[in-house]
């Protein structure tokens, strides 16, 4: 089992990265929080020093965002020979495939996993069909997987949902499991002062401190975390998932955001 760490590219020297072979960096929900190349110098030094492989995580992208990512990738190619790109945007997948840039990985925002924590209670007495559906990833279907072959996709990413996750039985594909945060939903921009009713219209990404703010919804029984422009909840226990699914071969621990 490969253990990787997702870090905040702005603070690689502030976090002690445990022994590992790969680090994840970038941002999965906001294009404004993606790095410029000159902002990852320290990260590159660290990666070279410790012989770490790199995975660049990207969010959904506007046309401006896609230009920014492609510029970044052009520069990254000059510094690193092989790297993975986690894509949350079909346009980016299309583009990096035709440019033969990096190794594409399908992000957990595209695999079609059911992540609402309330769905877990269906597992108590669900009809079989419902149980199957809730455990499924809607992207991982026969024809779709065959279609992705032309994009060279061999890895899909998953969240550590409370319910079982079924990934199919094809040994051609591998899966990464993120812990502990599970995404619920994404805002277009951060809620201002963490108030839903005030969404920033023009945010300044440099002001963003990647804070985790705890929210609660008393009815749900789960703590909700507002991290930048997205809502998450957490499930740090992953042993059962590994037991259930032999094709998960990588754990991605998010240490960019403090959990405990």
Residues engaged in binding another protein (CB under 8 A): 29, 60-66, 89-95, 109, 112-116, 118-119, 127, 129-130, 132-133, 136-144, 147, 183-188, 191, 194-197, 199, 201, 213-220, 224, 226, 231
Give 55 or 111: the residue with its C-beta nearer to another protein. 111
The pairing of strands 53-57 and 83-87 is parallel
Please name the residue that has the structure tokens 């000059």.
78
Point out which residues pair with 251 in neighbouring strands. Answer: 3, 177
Q: Give me 205's structure tokens.
A: 């990404």
**What is the closest distance, in whole angstroms, from the C-beta atom of residue 19 to another protein in the complex?**
33
The pairing of strands 230-234 and 174-179 is unpaired
Give 5 or 232: the residue with its C-beta nearer to another protein. 232
**What is the closest distance, in whole angstroms, from the C-beta atom of residue 59 to another protein in the complex?**
9
**What is the closest distance, in whole angstroms, from the C-beta atom of residue 114 to another protein in the complex?**
7
Give 31 or 40: the residue with its C-beta nearer to another protein. 31
Give 3 or 220: the residue with its C-beta nearer to another protein. 220
Q: Give me 109's structure tokens.
A: 């925002």
CA distance 257 to 236: 13
Neighbours of 206 (CB within 10 A): 9
CA distance 58 to 52: 19
**What is the closest distance, in whole angstroms, from the C-beta atom of residue 244 to another protein in the complex?**
17
Residue 147 phi, psi dihedral angles, 5° rounding: -60, -40
Give 217 or 258: the residue with its C-beta nearer to another protein. 217
According to DSSP, residue 40 is labeled G
**What is the closest distance, in whole angstroms, from the C-beta atom of residue 253 to another protein in the complex?**
21
């Amino acid at each position: 089992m490969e253990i990787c760490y997702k870090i905040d590219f702005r603070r690689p020297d502030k976090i002690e990265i445990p022994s590992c072979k790969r680090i994840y960096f970038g941002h999965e929900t906001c294009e404004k929080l993606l790095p410029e190349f000159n902002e990852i110098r320290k990260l590159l030094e660290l990666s070279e020093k410790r012989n770490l492989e790199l995975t660049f995580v990207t969010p959904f992208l506007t046309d401006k965002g896609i230009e920014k990512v492609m510029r970044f990738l052009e520069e990254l190619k000059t510094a690193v020979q092989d790297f993975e790109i986690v894509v949350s945007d079909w346009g980016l997948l299309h583009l990096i495939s035709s440019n033969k840039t990096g190794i594409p990985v399908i992000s957990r925002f595209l695999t079609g996993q059911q992540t609402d924590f309330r769905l877990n209670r269906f597992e108590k007495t669900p009809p079989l069909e419902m149980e199957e559906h809730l455990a499924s990833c809607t992207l991982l279907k026969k024809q779709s997987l065959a279609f992705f072959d032309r994009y060279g996709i061999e890895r899909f990413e998953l969240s550590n949902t409370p319910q079982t996750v079924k990934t199919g039985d094809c040994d051609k594909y591998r899966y990464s499991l993120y812990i502990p945060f599970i995404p619920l939903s994404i805002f277009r921009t951060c809620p201002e002062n963490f108030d839903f009713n005030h969404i920033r219209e023009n945010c300044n990404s440099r002001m963003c401190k990647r804070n985790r703010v705890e929210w609660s919804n008393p009815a749900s029984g789960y703590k909700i975390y507002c991290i930048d422009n997205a809502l998450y909840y957490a499930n740090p226990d992953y042993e059962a998932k590994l037991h259930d699914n032999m094709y998960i071969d990588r754990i991605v621990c998010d240490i960019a955001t403090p959990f405990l």
